[in-house]
Chains A and B, each alone.
Chain A
Amino acid sequence: MELIKLKNLTKTYGTKKKITALDGFDLTVQKGEMLAIMGRSGSGKSTVLNLIAGIDQLGGGTYFFEDTDMSKVTGDKLTRFRRDQIGVVFQHFALIDDYTVYQNIALPLKLSKTPKAEADQKIKKIAAELEITPLLQKYPKELSGGEAQRTAIARAVVTEPKLILADEPTGALDEETGKKIMQVFHNLHEKGNTLVIVTHDPAVAASCERTVRIRDGKNEA
């Protein structure tokens, strides 16, 4: 069953000097799939992730999330979509420095007005699964790269989104820690989560079920 369907996606940046990031890119993601989008730097893979996450606006083409035409979702509806349907993990973790690990994980729950007791239960559960329970009262600057990425993953999955997006999730980690983080993603996949991982690392891509290659904003044959 299709969760995401991108058709003939285009995206350009700049007004005077236009840079084409995507040029007719197609992608279909099935529910429960673990997919890697692979390409070199500047190939457009992160742009695809931004468009799927609703961080960036569509240039052209169509994007359906389940049956919803995402070109028509804007403003606070788009915000709610990001909050409820998508979890995103970034290479450099994107944690708020003056929030504790607990507060960072709690962020989407607070914004969706989840009752405190329920939120607390969810945070503790996910923290236990990701083995970061002892870190909950620490601040991001006190964490190692692997711990910070686990925190970012915990925040991304705590709302139980339909889709987890990861942009170079192991890019800032050493090889050993990267493997452990990929194991976390595999565990999530085994539980039925749908994952799209953007990477330029062949080893990461190889560990996914399927790999889509992108080059100069187009699907690579």
Chain B
Amino acid sequence: MIELILQEIRHIFTSQKRIFLLSVLAFTCACIGINASLSNCLIAAEEHSAAEISYGDKVTYKISMDGDSDSFNRVFGNPQSGAVKSLFEALKQSPEFTYRYTIENLIDFFDPDDTSFGADDFPAFKEMFRVGYEDGTTMYYDDYLALKAIYADDHFCSDYGVTISSGRAFEPADFLVTDPEKIVLPVLLGAEYSDLYEIGDRIENAHLGTIQKLTLEVVGFLGEGSYFYDNNTMKIMLDRYVILPNVETAYDGLQSDGSYDDFTHASYDSLKILNARLICDASNADRAASAAKKIFSENGFSELYLNAESANSVNYLESTRESAKLSIVITGFMILMISIIICIQTYYRIMQNRKKYSILMLNGITRFQLALLIMTETLLIFIFAAVLFFILKYLLRNVQVLDFGLSRYSVVCIAAIEAILLVLIGFYGIRKVEQVDMSSVLREHE
């Protein structure tokens, strides 16, 4: 049978090469189309799902403030730390909305006693910097480094579905600092950092917006490809992020001169307020907004206002839904078209080779053997189309014309389509061959 299949392949490459090449081109184009539309569909579906996880189906308000640095210092400066703490507590306790204060911000690393402190001082840190720099998630200044970080609230992992690959997630105790002299903050690191650090490692010289040094202790690593949506609109990949708890203090931190200690101030500056979200049901939106404004006013923060994000969320959700639907329709259309192309091609091939198939049947080819022979060309089309697909992908990406990517879902989908088409072609081919009037064909004179 192998010899017959090899002869069939030889025949395809000599006598039917034009039709074969056209079929390969058609199938390659269809694969590119299926891949593009399916990838788009999956991205849209993923974004839709993530947007819903990120409160996209609820009404959200972002706490905002306008003004220059003077205004900012006046509202969130050191003397205000106690008031910020009160505001924070009031927002947390309000029954009218859910208060979420997971914030994306930088975390600085420097040694105040060493003005030339930099990446070279800490080999692992240097590598961390390099990893982060490649991704644009870190900045390197003359005497300090800054990594992008997520200051997470206590619902971060559960609300956004962020998984921990090793170690542990944050625990309630991680969000409370009891002794300002012994501050060791637990941190979760993105998957990329798992080669540089181990659970239990300590990272020194971290600063929470102050000159007070902190020690970070690695307690876990995030799963590879972890991400969260910053309220629907921005997908943040967490592989190169440092996640630390947006902590509260169990003491008031007020010193004899009327100021607050550095850590208290760092914990209760704008980090828990600006860009934090108030989340509520649509039916409760007006009441929630009123309650929040009342809390701002009662705590002396009239500069703060609420930025209504719900319309954006609704529009975003709608657009992702529409995008997913459109992509499904296009994918379906592509699959239908390619199925029709392959069936037509098979039909003409069988009609063209009906004498050959009749002779094979006369000489005792079984239905299974015949199906294999008919499927040979279709399988070759699939193989050549795959090769052409990857060549095109490589060339277009290298000349920077287009990078059409390839998701594993597309590979699975196209492989499944190919498998189904192959089986269908086998059955369809046998059926068509059996419909051929063998006795007439065998008597034909060419």
Which A residues are within 8 Å of any B CB, using their own CB? 46-47, 50, 53, 55-56, 75-76, 79-80, 82-84, 88, 90-92, 94-99, 103, 107-108, 110-112, 155, 167, 172
Contact = CB atoms under 8 A, between A and B. Distances in A.
A88 B362 CA distance: 8
A88 B361 CA distance: 12
B363 A91 contact: no
B203 interface: no
A4 to B, nearest CB: 18
**Interface residues of B: mostly helix, strand, loop or mixed?**
helix
11 contacts: A79-B361, A80-B364, A82-B363, A90-B442, A94-B355, A96-B356, A98-B10, A103-B7, A108-B364, A111-B360, A112-B364
Given A98-B11, A98-B14, A172-B445, A110 B4 contact: yes
B367 A76 contact: yes
A75 B367 contact: yes
A128 B14 CA distance: 31
A73 to B, nearest CB: 13
B7 A99 contact: yes
A79 B365 contact: yes
Contact of A111 (B356, B358, B369, B446): B369
A80 B366 CA distance: 8
A98 B369 contact: no
A94 B442 contact: yes
Contacts of A110: 1, 3-4
B442 A55 contact: yes
Contacts of B364: 79-80, 82-84, 108, 111-112
A111 B443 contact: no
Q: Which 3 pairs of residues, A with B, have the shortest CB-CB distance?
A: A83-B364, A92-B445, A108-B363
A7 B364 CA distance: 26
Interface in B303-326: none
Contacts of A155: 363
Contacts of B365: 79, 111
A91 B15 CA distance: 26
A29 to B, nearest CB: 19
A53 B361 CA distance: 11
B15 A98 contact: yes
A50 B438 CA distance: 9
B446 A107 contact: no
Nearest to B445: A92
Contacts of B14: 98
B70 interface: no
A55 B441 CA distance: 11
A98 B7 CA distance: 8
B7 A167 contact: no
B416 interface: no
A183 to B, nearest CB: 23
B439 interface: yes
B11 to A, nearest CB: 5
B132 to A, nearest CB: 63
Interface string B345-384: 0000000000110111111111101000000000000000
A76 to B, nearest CB: 5
Given A82-B364, A111-B365, A111-B369, A92 B444 contact: yes
Nearest to B16: A98
A55 to B, nearest CB: 5
Given A55-B442, A107-B360, A111-B364, 7 more contacts: A79-B361, A79-B367, A94-B358, A94-B359, A111-B363, A155-B363, A167-B443
A84 B355 CA distance: 21
A203 B381 CA distance: 52
Contacts of B355: 94, 96
Interface in B3-26: 3-4, 7, 10-11, 14-15
A63 B145 CA distance: 95
A75 B367 CA distance: 8
A75 B446 CA distance: 29
Nearest to B15: A98
A37 B246 CA distance: 100
Interface in B227-245: none
A109 B365 CA distance: 11
B443 A91 contact: yes
B439 A46 contact: yes
A103 B367 CA distance: 21
Contacts of B363: 82-83, 107-108, 111, 155
B129 to A, nearest CB: 66
Contacts of A91: 443, 445
B19 to A, nearest CB: 15
B360 A92 contact: no
A82 B4 contact: no
A172 B446 CA distance: 12
A103 B363 CA distance: 12
Contacts of A95: 359
Interface in B414-446: 438-439, 442-446
B350 to A, nearest CB: 15
Contacts of A79: 361, 364-367
Contacts of B445: 91-92, 172
Contacts of B362: 53, 55, 82, 88, 94
A110 B363 CA distance: 10
A55 B438 contact: yes
Contact of A50 (B4, B11, B366, B439): B439
A37 B60 CA distance: 93
A53 B5 CA distance: 26
> Which of B11, B364, B446 has the most chain A CB atoms inside 10 A of its CB?
B364
B6 to A, nearest CB: 11
A119 B361 CA distance: 19
Nearest to A91: B443
